[in-house]
Amino acid sequence: MTPDEFRQNGHALIDWIAEYIEGIESLPVFDPSLQPGDVRAQLPPHPPTAVEPFSAVLSDLDEIVVPGLTNWQHPNFFAYFPANSSYSAILGELTAAGLGVQGMSWVTSPACTEVETLMLDWMQELLDLPARFRSDSPTGGGVIQGSASEATLAAMLAARWRTTGGAVNADGDTTRLVAYTTTQAHSSIEKGLRIAGIGHERMRLVDIDDTFAMRADDLERQIAADRAAGLVPFFVCASRGTTSSTAFDPAVEIGEICRRENVWLHVDGAMSGVAALVPEHRWVNDGLDLADSYCTNPHKWMGVNFDCDLFWTSDRASLLGALSILPEFLRSKALESGAAIDYRDWQIPLGRRFRALKLWFMLRCDGVEPTQAMIREHVRMTQQLAEWVTADARFRIDAPYPLNLLCISLVAGNAATDALIEAANSTGQVMFTRTVLTIDGEPRSTLRFSIGARLTAERHVLAGWQLLQSLAALGA
Amino acid sequence: MTPDEFRQNGHALIDWIAEYIEGIESLPVFDPSLQPGDVRAQLPPHPPTAVEPFSAVLSDLDEIVVPGLTNWQHPNFFAYFPANSSYSAILGELTAAGLGVQGMSWVTSPACTEVETLMLDWMQELLDLPARFRSDSPTGGGVIQGSASEATLAAMLAARWRTTGGAVNADGDTTRLVAYTTTQAHSSIEKGLRIAGIGHERMRLVDIDDTFAMRADDLERQIAADRAAGLVPFFVCASRGTTSSTAFDPAVEIGEICRRENVWLHVDGAMSGVAALVPEHRWVNDGLDLADSYCTNPHKWMGVNFDCDLFWTSDRASLLGALSILPEFLRSKALESGAAIDYRDWQIPLGRRFRALKLWFMLRCDGVEPTQAMIREHVRMTQQLAEWVTADARFRIDAPYPLNLLCISLVAGNAATDALIEAANSTGQVMFTRTVLTIDGEPRSTLRFSIGARLTAERHVLAGWQLLQSLAALGA
CB-CB under 8 Å, A199 with B196: no
Is residue A254 predicted with pLDDT exceeding 70?
A: yes
DSSP summary character for residue A166: T
CB-CB under 8 Å, A172 with B197: yes
Residue B427 in contact with partner chain A when CB distance is under 8 A: no
* Residue B331 pLDDT: 61
Task: Nearest by CB to B11, from A14, A67, A190: name it.
Answer: A14
Sign of the CA dihedral running B134, B140, B145, B151: negative
Number of domains in chain B: 3
Read off the pLDDT of residues A385-434 as tens digits, 9 standing for 90 and up.
999 999 999 999 999 999 999 999 999 999 999 999 999 999 999 999 99
Q: Are residues B40 and B102 in the same domain?
A: no
Query: Is A318 strand, coil or helix?
Result: helix
Q: Report the pLDDT averaged over residues A41-47.
A: 97
Q: Are residues B342 and B383 in the same domain?
A: no
Residue B82 forms part of a structural domain: no
Last residue of a domain, one of A340, A365, A390: A365
**Residue A377 to chain B, least CA–CA distance (Å):** 19
CB-CB under 8 Å, A1 with B339: no
Which stretches of B125-196 are assigned E, i.e. beta strand?
Answer: 141-145, 177-181
Say if residues B285 and B127 touch (Cβ distance below 8 Å). yes
Q: Are residues B348 and B227 in the same domain?
A: yes
Q: Are residues A428 and A356 in the same domain?
A: no
Residue A356 forms part of a structural domain: yes
Q: Are residues B406 and B344 in the same domain?
A: no
What gap in Å lies between CA A222 and CA B160, rounded to an integer?
Answer: 29
Q: Are residues B239 and B376 in the same domain?
A: no
What gap in Å lies between CA B242 and CA B87, rounded to an integer?
Answer: 28
What gap in Å lies between CA B342 and CA A270, rounded to an integer?
Answer: 22
**Nearest Cα to Cα of residue B118 among B289, B344, B360, B292:** B360
Residue B341 forms part of a structural domain: yes
**Nearest Cα to Cα of residue A127 among A251, A309, A285:** A285
Residue type, B27: L
Residue A87 forms part of a structural domain: no
What gap in Å lies between CA A53 and CA B5, rounded to an integer?
Answer: 27
Sign of the CA dihedral running B37, A97, B465, B390: positive
Residue B7 in contact with partner chain A when CB distance is under 8 A: yes
**Nearest Cα to Cα of residue B161 among A200, A203, A174, A195:** A195
Say if residues B351 and A151 touch (Cβ distance below 8 Å). no
CB-CB under 8 Å, A101 with B70: yes
Confidence label for A475 from pLDDT (cuts 50, 70 and 90): confident
Task: Kindly report the CATH number assigned to the domain that includes residue B21.
Answer: 1.20.1340.10
The answer, yes or no, to whether the previous bond of A210 is cis (omega within 30 of 0) is no
Task: Nearest by CB to B3, from A18, A330, A433: name it.
Answer: A18
Residue B199 forms part of a structural domain: yes
Q: Are residues B361 and B381 in the same domain?
A: no
Range of the domain at B273: 94-365
Q: Are residues A191 and A270 in the same domain?
A: yes
**Nearest Cα to Cα of residue A318 among A443, A169, A449:** A169
Residue A80 forms part of a structural domain: no
Mark B165-188 as b/e (b = at least 16 C-beta within 10 Å). Answer: eeebbebbbbbebbbbbbbbbbbb
Q: Which residues on chain B are in Cβ contact (under 8 Å) with A69?
A: 99, 101, 109-112
**Residue A390 to chain B, least CA–CA distance (Å):** 24
Confidence label for A326 from pLDDT (cuts 50, 70 and 90): confident
Hey, how many other C-beta atoms are within 10 angstroms of the C-beta on B258?
Answer: 25
Q: Write phi, then psi, for A141 (nearest 5 degrees).
A: 160, 170
Q: Report the pLDDT averaged over residues A86-99.
A: 98
Q: Write phi, then psi, for A448 (nearest 5 degrees).
A: -90, 120
Percent of chain A with pLDDT over 90: 96
Q: Are residues B239 and B108 in the same domain?
A: yes
Strands A293-296, A264-268: pairing is parallel
Read off the pLDDT of residues A1-17 as tens digits, 9 standing for 90 and up.
999 999 999 999 999 99
CA-to-CA dists, residue A323 to A155, A166, B64, angstroms:
10, 11, 30
Residues of chain B with pLDDT under 50: 476
Read off the pLDDT of residues B355-377 as tens digits, 9 standing for 90 and up.
999 999 999 999 999 999 999 99
CA-to-CA dists, residue B209 to A370, B179, B258, angstroms:
61, 19, 19
- Give me the residues of A, 260-289, that contact B with CB < 8 A: none
Q: Are residues B162 and B46 in the same domain?
A: no
CB-CB under 8 Å, A57 with B364: yes
Alpha helices in A50-144 (DSSP H): 54-60, 87-99, 110-127
Read off the pLDDT of residues A19-39 as tens digits, 9 standing for 90 and up.
999 999 999 999 999 999 999
Read off the pLDDT of residues A221-239 as tens digits, 9 standing for 90 and up.
999 999 999 999 999 999 9
pTM here? 0.97
Distance of CA B231 to the CA centre of its chain: 31
CB-CB under 8 Å, A198 with B6: no
Helix (H) or strand (E) holding B150: helix B148-163
Read off the pLDDT of residues A48-92 as tens digits, 9 standing for 90 and up.
999 999 999 999 999 999 999 999 999 999 999 999 999 999 999
* Residue A161 pLDDT: 97
* Residue B330 pLDDT: 59
Say if residues A153 and A323 touch (Cβ distance below 8 Å). no
CB-CB under 8 Å, A307 with B51: no
Q: Are residues B278 and B158 in the same domain?
A: yes
CB-CB under 8 Å, A150 with B348: yes
DSSP string, B293-351: EEEE-HHHHTS--SS-EEEEES-HHHHHHHH----GGG--HHHHHT-S--GGGGSSSS-
Task: Nearest by CB to A3, from B18, B197, B351: name it.
Answer: B18
CB-CB under 8 Å, A351 with B94: no
Task: Kindly report the CATH number assigned to the domain that includes residue B407.
Answer: 3.90.1150.10
Residue A317 in contact with partner chain B when CB distance is under 8 A: no
Read off the pLDDT of residues A443-474 as tens digits, 9 standing for 90 and up.
999 999 999 999 999 999 999 999 999 999 98
CB-CB under 8 Å, A368 with B115: no
Sign of the CA dihedral running A53, A58, A60, A61: positive
What gap in Å lies between CA B42 and CA B31, rounded to an integer?
Answer: 15
Confidence label for A328 from pLDDT (cuts 50, 70 and 90): low
Say if residues A139 and A292 touch (Cβ distance below 8 Å). no
Task: Nearest by CB to B6, from A46, A87, A339: name it.
Answer: A87
CB-CB under 8 Å, A191 with B327: no
Task: Kindly report the CATH number assigned to the domain that includes residue A344.
Answer: 3.40.640.10
Last residue of a domain, one of A365, A394, A424: A365
Mark A195-206 as b/e (b = at least 16 C-beta within 10 Å). Answer: bbbbbbebbbbb
Last residue of a domain, one of A365, A384, A407: A365
Q: Write phi, then psi, for B403 (nearest 5 degrees).
A: -130, -105
Q: A–B: how many Cβ contacts below 8 A?
A: 486
Residue B88 forms part of a structural domain: no
Residue B422 forms part of a structural domain: yes
Q: Are residues A221 and A168 in the same domain?
A: yes
